[in-house]
Structure 1
Amino acid sequence: MTTSTPQITLSNGVQMPILGFGVYQIPPEQTEKAVTEALAAGCRLLDTASAYFNEDGVGRAIAKSGIARSELFVTTKLWIQDAGEQATKRAFEASLERLGLDYLDLYLIHQPIGDVHGSWRAMQTLLQDKNVRAIGVSNFPADRLVDLIDHNEIPPMINQVETHPFFQNTGYQTFMHDHDVQIEAWAPLAHGHDRLFGDPVLSSIGEEQGKSVAQVVLRWLVQRGVVVIPKSVRPDAMNENIAVFDFELTDEQMTRIAALDTGASLFVDHRDPAVVHDLGSFRIHD
């Protein structure tokens, strides 16, 4: 790839940028513009999902960008409604069509709910047939991740989980590393939570480094080896978010951020039966 963003190497040897751009909660009508601006800022890792309803906009931005396909790393995700072996294959083709692509770089099971083993069999086939370069999961707790690893031929290459200064997943990252699974952070900036941007520890480190709170947090994550996909619709923020490779946090600053960990999600508990029920009931198509 011809991007200056550092790369990480997945367990199957595929390389991906350690920092990219996520489009969660970007309205469909704004997605093409936002992705176009993110690409102009230098992002080459793009993360979407069928449940975001904006794959089309991502695809249009890619098509109009003039950037070689080999320079991009495109991720999308399979929703619960399409779990199961045959349904997964159909959903994959539908996502490819909406994105206007002939292959994906990364395909993830979005939630640890439903027939994930059937879906994983389909994803292994997609990988072996070279329709996708890497496969993984999202929101899988450790027991569900191990269940998938132990009962399938190919283990997940990535697990995308909520990770930010208040929910750091440090121990889980070590666990994943021991199983050759790369951690990727969703909500790395806590979805813009006031608690993060107003935190005195993060603000003071930003002043020490001459950087913004967002840059401190993203630098802290990439320095830990966590893949990050911050979202923004503002070009200035996109440029700021990607400019985190010209400084390094000290061990003392890393330790101060580590002390912010609460060990609890700010958003969703995938072990809550009500959450599982609500997610499983959410339909993205008829």
Structure 2
Amino acid sequence: MNDEELVRRIHRELADSYDEELELEIEDRTIEQLAGGVDAISEQDKADRRLYFRELFRLQAELVKLQDWVVATGHKVVILFEGRDAAGKGGVIKRITQRLNPRVCRVAALPAPNDRERTQWYFQRYVSHLPAAGEIVLFDRSWYNRAGVERVMGFCSDDQYEEFFRSAPEFERMLVRSGIQLIKYWFSITDEEQHMRFLSRIHDPLKQWKLSPMDLESRRRWEDYTRAKEVMLERTHIAEAPWWVVQAVDKKKARLNCIHHLLSQMPYGEVEHAPISLPERERHDDYFRREVSSEILVPEVY
């Protein structure tokens, strides 16, 4: 392979690496836009989309710097993402983790507690997911389930609910005293926007799995969730771990604003790395590559 061909292949590989974001972008476009082609998107929409990608890639580059700083300093970070169903929590989590090392930055998305976990101290099952030095953990929903869905759906008693509000601030202060930085985000959307997003999921066969019976019931109980959210923010907004509200009606703006704010919460800086040089591969006269049996080859359909 000559140098020109090598450079061309490297450029192609770089382009392929960014296609992942384009694939995620398709998820956010309506079926009408996809069916209508480019003409269905206005010039302003195209300009906004270019700006979004430019800023997203810039912020993701900063997230990589943040990751290096977290590892180098042994910092420990927990980020909670809360909000109504379809508020966009999963979308921003995808964009934060997209370019990062999963051994450094990982996501904890716990299912409903099993019979054994329901008999434990309420916070116990979350503790095992907390970070060690040089790690970032993103909770896609968290211990605040008790203040939200469990309260609204009647999955906890009044006593358990009140005990949560006595314990949660102290639990979080304890985490902060132990050296964990705790950042809490609430993604806020309107009644109309959630209605539209639920309808979009219903009519999109690739997204119908996102709608559980609990999600549909939450739609009916919009006002109950609003009251529960207001109480939660009021009673757990503490100096050591304040709540931050992300206006999330516009998904793309919400992602950029959240990542920009997250970066501002840590005094990270550029970490010096030793120059990387690719070593020459060793070659031996007695080495040969064996043929792969056709029986175990995956058919090349494409």
| TM-score normalised by the chain length of structure 2 | 0.28
Q: Which has the higher strand share?
A: 1
Q: Which structure exhibits the higher relative contact order, with contacts defined as CA atoms closer than 8 Å and separated by 6 or more residues?
A: 2
TM-score by length of 1: 0.29
Give the structure with higher Rg (CA): 2
